[in-house]
Each structure stands twice: as C-alpha cells, then as structure tokens.
Copies of this chain bind each other. A is one copy, B any other.
Amino acid sequence: MVISKHLLGLANTPREEITLILKTAQYFKEVLSRPIPKVPTLRGKTIVNLFFENSTRTRISFELAEKRLSADTVNFSAMGSSVAKGESLRDTVRNIEAMKIDTVVIRHHAAGAPHLLANWVEAGVINAGDGQHEHPTQALLDLMTLRDKFGALENLKVVLVGDIQHSRVARSNIHGLKKMGAKVGVCAPATLLPRDFKEAFGEDVHVFSNIDDALRWAQVLNVLRLQLERMRSGLFPSLREYAACFGLDRARVEAAKKEVVIMHPGPINRGVELSSDLADSEYSLIIDQVTNGVAVRMAVLYLKCGGDLEIANGGS
C-alpha cells in the first residue's frame, strides 16, 4: 500500500489506510504500557508543531507522541511569532521548511490551511484541526476507542450529538465511520445542522431532532462540545433549553434501558451538553479516548514520517 505522507482529513483517506493506522496504533498502545514507553523509531526526524489556535490536549498529545517516537520537536504558537508581524502563512511555512523539517503538525483557524501547506512544502503535513473542516486524528482516536470497545466498527450505530454545523470533529467522524462501515446518525437543532447535510454526507446518515430518539437507536453517542459563543449568535435560544432537548445526563441514559456508551472530544462544558456525573460514569469512554489519542498520533506520525510497515504488520 502506498501511504500519503500527509494526513489532511478522513474524507480523502482510503479505508485501508485507516485500518492500517488503527492496527499500528494498537501496537503503540502496547508500547505505551511498557515501563519505558518509548521507541527510537523517529530518531533524527524533526517535527514542528504549528499551533495557530489555542489547544491543551491536542498539542500535548502530539508532543508526547513525538517524544515517545524519539523525534526532535519544535513548538510554535502564533502568539509571540512573526505572524504577529504580519508574515503570511506561506512565508512562515516555507521558512520553516527551508530548515529541513520532516513533518509539520498544524492547527489553524482557517479550513483548508493544511491542504495549502501540503501543496507548498516537501514536508509531510498532519492536520491537527482546521477551522470547521476536519480534525482527522480526533476521529481516528474515536474509531480506535470504538474498535477496542466493540471489536469491530461494521454496522455499529453511532450518533454525533450537538453542533454538527460548526464541528470539525463531527465532519471527520462521519467520514471515518462511514468508511469503516458503521451506521451514522446526527442529533442537533436544525440551526446547528448544515443545510446541505444530506448532499455532503449522504442520504444514509440518520437525522434525529431530539436526544431521546437518538438514544433509542444508537449504541454510541459522541457528544460534541457546545461552543457557547454560538448562543450569542442566536443559533440556539438558551443553555437551559439546549440542555433540555440535547443535553445528556444519567437519568436520560438510564431511562433508555439499553446499553450505550458516551464519548466526548473535550473540553466538556459540564452540565451543558453532558452532565458531570455521566461524563465520569461507567457509560463514559472519555478517558480511553484521551489515552488512545497518543497511540493514534504515534501511529500516524510513524506511518507518515516514512516508518516501514513491519511494526504495523507484526504488531497486532
């Protein structure tokens, strides 16, 4: 299999590659459980983390993945940089590339920024979240977490709950889940669902307009963070009303009288889209998601930075 050196989104990643990444990630998950959770695989490779948006967990997760592969890492945040002097993204990146970087991990507020980069530079480009477009490593860690839990993704019923319209996590998950044969639903107020939703994602995606219907159908609810600033834009009337129609708590889940698991990409607005109790309950896979995040990112970096496939083949 020929693997692209970039990971720009799951929309354009073949199913076989997703399968290989997940398999490789399982291998690295085992590495992470060793007393010294480190391999020399990317020694001498240099990875730059270019974060134009705030991030805690994604940046730290990538940085840990890089260090556990023994890569050299350089961090760059838009604060305190030439971007403040008005340097263009293109010049920033061309300059960084001229310093002989192997891979750039980029988070950017503009959808498509990683794709532009991939056209401009020789280095591999990993999308760590671009605007409202894609966040492919988040979706991959979600897939890994579900495969761990259910054994397979085929025919698994997963509903994404919340602000589908503005969510790169939702977009990447829908693409990834459909490729892997899962059944996908979304549950959102009409104002937080893209108008051309069926055109973009296919007629086979189920649309639920309240959380109880979604609960009846789903085996998995992946609850998105509600961007509170949307409320100010009038896209939903109040937190209270949102929580009443789309918020999840233990009572609601237990009323469904069925097995279901809850996921959330974080950071959680506790008490808004998810009750604190439920987030920390036996229904929740949230901590597994975070743990798997490092393993998935190790797999992506390993496969994209030119690691051979032996580990992946031998590892599961």
A115 CB within 8 Å of chain B: no
Contact of A109 with B by CB under 8 A: no
A99 and B60 contacting across the interface, CB-CB below 8 Å: yes
Q: Does A134 contact B (CB under 8 A)?
A: no
**Nearest CB to that of A290 among chain B residues?**
B98
Q: In terms of DSSP, what is the predominant structure of the interface of chain A?
A: mixed
User: Is the CB–CB distance between B56 and A98 below 8 Å?
Assistant: no
Q: Which of B54, B80, B82, B288 sits near A84, CB closer than 8 Å?
A: B54
Size of A's binding interface in residues, CB under 8 A: 54
In Å, the complex CA distance between A288 and B291 comes to 41
With A77-B80, A79-B80 already in contact, the answer to whether A99 and B64 are too (CB < 8 A) is yes
- Structural contact, A268 and B99, CB atoms closer than 8 A: no
Contact across chains for A82 and B267 when beta carbons are under 8 A apart: yes
Query: Is A17 in the interface zone, CB < 8 Å from B?
Result: no
The chain B residue with its CB closest to the CB of A48 is B60
Within 8 A of B (CB), among A287-311: 287-288, 290-291, 293-294
State the number of copies, please: 3
Residue A282 at the chain B interface, CB threshold 8 Å: no
Partner of A99, one of B44, B84, B228, B291: B291
Query: A-side interface residues toward B, CB under 8 Å?
Result: 32, 35-38, 43-44, 46, 48, 51, 54-57, 60-61, 63-64, 67-68, 72, 74, 76-77, 79-88, 91-92, 94-96, 98-100, 228, 266-270, 287-288, 290-291, 293-294
Can you name 27 A-B pairs with beta carbons within 8 Å?
Answer: A36-B44, A37-B100, A38-B43, A38-B44, A46-B67, A54-B82, A55-B80, A55-B81, A56-B81, A56-B82, A56-B92, A57-B95, A60-B96, A61-B99, A64-B72, A64-B74, A64-B100, A67-B74, A79-B79, A82-B266, A86-B228, A86-B267, A91-B266, A91-B270, A92-B267, A94-B290, A98-B288
Starting from the known contacts A54-B85, A57-B96, A98-B290, 15 additional A-B residue pairs (CB-CB under 8 Å) come to A46-B64, A51-B80, A55-B82, A56-B83, A56-B87, A56-B92, A56-B96, A64-B72, A77-B80, A86-B228, A86-B267, A87-B267, A91-B270, A94-B290, A98-B291
